[in-house]
Structure 1
């Protein structure tokens, strides 16, 4: 896909040939949902007749209220926003496409309950699964992990100490190095560290990997403790060597014996 292209996530021919919510209800690639904030865009909506339209999703990088905000447009008319919770899920991939100059086109429906009632807008959105073939989440996560490896050992250790959560201090340090993420323009505004899902997924992977390493090291240590105890070393001596209490050593040995009995 080249810069300036339009990515049609839901076929527009469906909109012209009796497209309906039921067609995509059980498809994990799509979600049919209401457009948020339509009460603020009634002037634009009231210029549209009831029916299906092609709509574009546009990430609002500088939105002061929500760094994951995604607005919906029919032509040049802004009709509202993707709901906050769902926008959090798809914003990284929508941002990635937008930064490549690729416009995400979907189907929107405008309806009126009665002649003088406000306009209601609904939209068929792509899920993360639906977007994955165009902006693979795995590639975005790996770009963050690659950038992580290029941070200083001191900074990584500080973040790891805090359970792979950013503090105000580490936030500023990482933000100053956001250029390290080449495939995905991460942290586009000052709030994005708290809100960016791809970053959170990457940190969770690091967190789980750290736990797995700690568990493996603990199991290896415990096997060594049991081996020393079986060789006749005293609990006090083993405790001093490993920096543990005598009670902990005895518990480790007792547990190993009960598991092997």
Structure 2
């Protein structure tokens, strides 16, 4: 007599289909990414022969995610006539575990089609179980229709929100993948997500796919937020640039590097040349030229064979200061000593190719340009 499912509970069919006759010969042709379910052999049937005998007329069974299986952290049992008749193959159980559990927490009885074979002749002459069984198992695509990823993520969210900031930051740095260090800490807080089905304990070698999917969803959400924030920041940089604010000031206000500002402006078809150079007023020019005079004097005196110590004494300064004066003074007298510094001056004077230089290089080039002009130096 065929056992029919009762409609008295919140039963839902995860996978329902007529037995195809020879699933072992046809399943290798199936692309499980394109189907909602397919037939697979039930695992472990040799241990449940009596239960299979009692359920031999059954055409449906119930999937039960297990929490206390000592051999498999994401085991899903298959029950017929209220007895365990075997298990979903491990590779599929790993994929379905969290979503099957999620549906169970909603109070559903999770039904699938089964077919139980009586191998009477084979068991007489071969070392072969008397009963074997096949089950119509939902694929990842199929289970997603009943327990969508967005629902899984919403169920997981309370746990994520309950985690300490430093733990969330660590998981984020690990690409939203759990490690032997972070995984157990997450599992300790699983009571914070009562609508998410967790395995008994954290197993780094066999993390159920649902947890990884929930974490990936959080990662994608963070990326979307970061992209929105980046677009908002980029627009702010362009507005500041249009108002004439120098790159360095923009960088300081937004706590980013000057090179990031230049990169964003370049991508927007703008450059630091559109800002108004600041920092060279009458007072600055006076002190700038006074120092340049000392630099040129130190360079000229050394070219006459006078030692640095003698120059320092003559200028009433330290030898260390003289060394600094000499670095700039020799450059002013022969700019071929530093081609990049020389080219920066030329770019400043022509107001072109400024994106090739850092803010520090451009600031020095503006000062050098003033000195070149005032002392009529050769570039």
- Unmatched segments (≥5 aa) in structure 2: 1-7, 22-29, 271-379
Q: CA deviation at 1:236?
A: 3.9
After superposition, the Cα gap between the structure-2 partners of 1:46 and 1:100, relative to the gap in structure 1 and judged at 3 Å, is closer
Q: Which has the larger share of helix? A: 2
Q: Deviations over 1:90-114 (max 9, x none)?
A: 2223334555775434322234597
- Which position in structure 1 is the counterpart of 2:112? 106
After superposition, the Cα gap between the structure-2 partners of 1:113 and 1:212, relative to the gap in structure 1 and judged at 3 Å, is farther
**How do 1:81-230 and structure 2 match up within 5 A?**
81-98=87-104, 103-111=109-117, 112=119, 115=122, 116=125, 118=128, 120-127=132-139, 138-191=150-203, 195-230=207-242
For structure 1, which segment, 215-224 or 178-187, has the greater mean C-alpha deviation from structure 2 after superposition? 178-187
After superposition, the Cα gap between the structure-2 partners of 1:193 and 1:136, relative to the gap in structure 1 and judged at 3 Å, is farther
Q: CA deviation at 1:241?
A: 4.1
Q: CA deviation at 1:7?
A: 2.8
Task: Provide the rounded CA distance (Å) in 1 between the counterparts of 2:12 and 2:253.
Answer: 64
Q: CA deviation at 1:213?
A: 1.5
Is 2:32 aligned against 1:21?
A: no
Task: Provide the rounded CA distance (Å) in 2 between the counterparts of 1:11 and 1:206.
Answer: 29
RCO greater where, 1 or 2, for CA within 8 Å and sep 6 or more? 1
Aligned residues: 248
Task: Provide the rounded CA distance (Å) in 2 between the counterparts of 1:245 and 1:137.
Answer: 38
Task: Provide the rounded CA distance (Å) in 2 between the counterparts of 1:215 and 1:151.
Answer: 24
**Aligned with 1:257: secondary structure?**
coil
- Which position in structure 1 is the counterpart of 2:39? 32
**How do 1:57-68 and structure 2 match up within 5 A?**
57-68=63-74
Conservation of the 8 A alpha-carbon contact between 2:44 and 2:86:
yes
**Aligned with 1:56: secondary structure?**
strand
- Which position in structure 2 is the counterpart of 1:69? 75
Task: Provide the rounded CA distance (Å) in 1 between the counterparts of 2:259 and 2:152.
Answer: 47
Conservation of the 8 A alpha-carbon contact between 1:44 and 1:77:
no
Using the size of structure 2 for normalisation, the TM-score is 0.52
After superposition, the Cα gap between the structure-2 partners of 1:5 and 1:156, relative to the gap in structure 1 and judged at 3 Å, is same
Q: Deviations over 1:196-246 (max 9, x none)?
A: 333222222211111111112222222222233333333344344445444
Using the size of structure 1 for normalisation, the TM-score is 0.70
- Which position in structure 2 is the counterpart of 1:7? 11
Q: Which has the larger share of strand? A: 1
Conservation of the 8 A alpha-carbon contact between 1:67 and 1:192:
no
Larger radius of gyration: 2
Task: Provide the rounded CA distance (Å) in 2 between the counterparts of 1:164 and 1:220.
Answer: 25
- RMSD in angstroms over aligned alpha carbons? 4.2
